[in-house]
Structure 1
């Protein structure tokens, strides 16, 4: 059940920041980033402009691998760019250490055991509030509390970490970047070639199909189930593994929200498409049934 008849995605706050590109454009211009299928990679299409500093860095935490691409202004200098990169990487590591639900000493684990309250730390309160908001937005199909042992924000934690790292980049003066984690990404501004980030989103199971191609200057792509692995998302209403879809991909302004929507859509199946109204900031790119 491909959701590929949509031709344009619009955000509600400013000018369109993501647009569909005709497939012939994909053939004539290489994408900067590829998502989907069983591999996710970067295409380095040309070097940085003379007044820009282009940096790529990959970091691993205990649960994920992140790749950061920075297209920074020359006035920031290599030392400033390095400091911005270190700050963003430190944030990714801090989220893993401080909020990872599999770490017994994390704030999430302490919250589950009742040792602290959700309001004890502002970032923890924000994380809990986001999970509650997504539970309401998805009719309970994203439910961080419907897991053994209690609260588990894993369905949006990775996207939340990426958005927090991206905020550190902006605070340091870097406003043109892409941050990837597996089949998920958030981007802002322009790529090294000076144009919008060109993102090829491949079909999750059919390598013969041409990818959907997006040109993005602000936004995120969140995916659930892209590897085809069964049982990693549970139907929160029954406790059984979700099995209707092979993958779900959602595009929108914020990666934590897009991730949560993708997880919920994967669990709900076709019924979840009702969440993506014409006036919604989020759109389903893929929602493919399992055969």
Structure 2
């Protein structure tokens, strides 16, 4: 999927947990083979070229497209799995795959884990007994500086922005790059959702992102505008906040 995944497991490495880690890694390779837009032989790439349909694909493809349609409805079309008119569910797949990998570990008995998919994280339990996880969020306009530190237990954290890949998120209504924001970080319980919503809020821009966040109290957001202004929702789980 054009990015790096990592696992941080704070539980005792039992045989079951070791087996689950191998299963989770195999799962991510399977997702890459099916959904990567960087691979011309993936099912998603072949669908985008019109060579196959959903019925010709593994069942995960139909699942992901259904989740994409739900995210599009929840964001009034600001999330799209056809940005620029081309099939690309990457804005949801990475979070979905990471969350599923985290679930594989949990089902094997690993209760305190962090699965990191390209900077988007599914956190479970604690980093140490009595200690919440701490996640640094890079400042999109000040290389080498942290914008804030997110703290929490059983938390998902996703960031969309320009720091790593420039203006790569498209406004689905115009097909042009979204230019109004520098970064959006969204937190919630499930990375499948927060990854998609971070992308959608970035595409929306400042005022609509504020309105959406106020209307969806299950999620919290931290936004940096292209001009460098910073705002966050009332319950955003930050340990420190640096402008």
Does residue 70 (structure 1) correspond to residue 44 (structure 2)? The answer is no
How far apart are the structure 2 equivalents of 1:274 and 1:119? 40
Q: After TM superposition, list the pairs within 5 Å mapping 1:89-238 onto structure 2.
A: 89-112=25-48, 113=50, 115-117=52-54, 121-148=58-85, 150-206=86-142, 211-227=147-163, 229-238=165-174
How far apart are the structure 2 equivalents of 1:208 and 1:93? 31
2:220 matched residue in structure 1: 283
Segments of 5+ residues of structure 1 without an aligned counterpart are 1-61
Measure how far apart 1:183 and its partner are. Answer: 2.8
Do the aligned residues in 2 keep the contact of 1:119 with 1:125 (CA within 8 Å)?
A: no
Measure how far apart 1:145 and its partner are. Answer: 1.9
Structure 1 or 2, whichever has the larger Rg, is 1
Do the aligned residues in 2 keep the contact of 1:156 with 1:256 (CA within 8 Å)?
A: yes
Q: 1:259 to 1:237 in 2, by over 3 A?
A: same
Do the aligned residues in 2 keep the contact of 1:100 with 1:106 (CA within 8 Å)?
A: yes
Counting helix residues as a fraction of each chain, which structure ranks higher? 2
How many residue pairs align between the two structures? 226
Segments of 5+ residues of structure 2 without an aligned counterpart are 229-243
What TM-score does the superposition give when structure 1 sets the normalisation length? 0.70
What TM-score does the superposition give when structure 2 sets the normalisation length? 0.82
Measure how far apart 1:109 and its partner are. Answer: 2.6
Do the aligned residues in 1 keep the contact of 2:162 with 2:168 (CA within 8 Å)?
A: no
How far apart are the structure 1 equivalents of 2:138 and 2:203? 21
Measure how far apart 1:81 and its partner are. Answer: 2.6
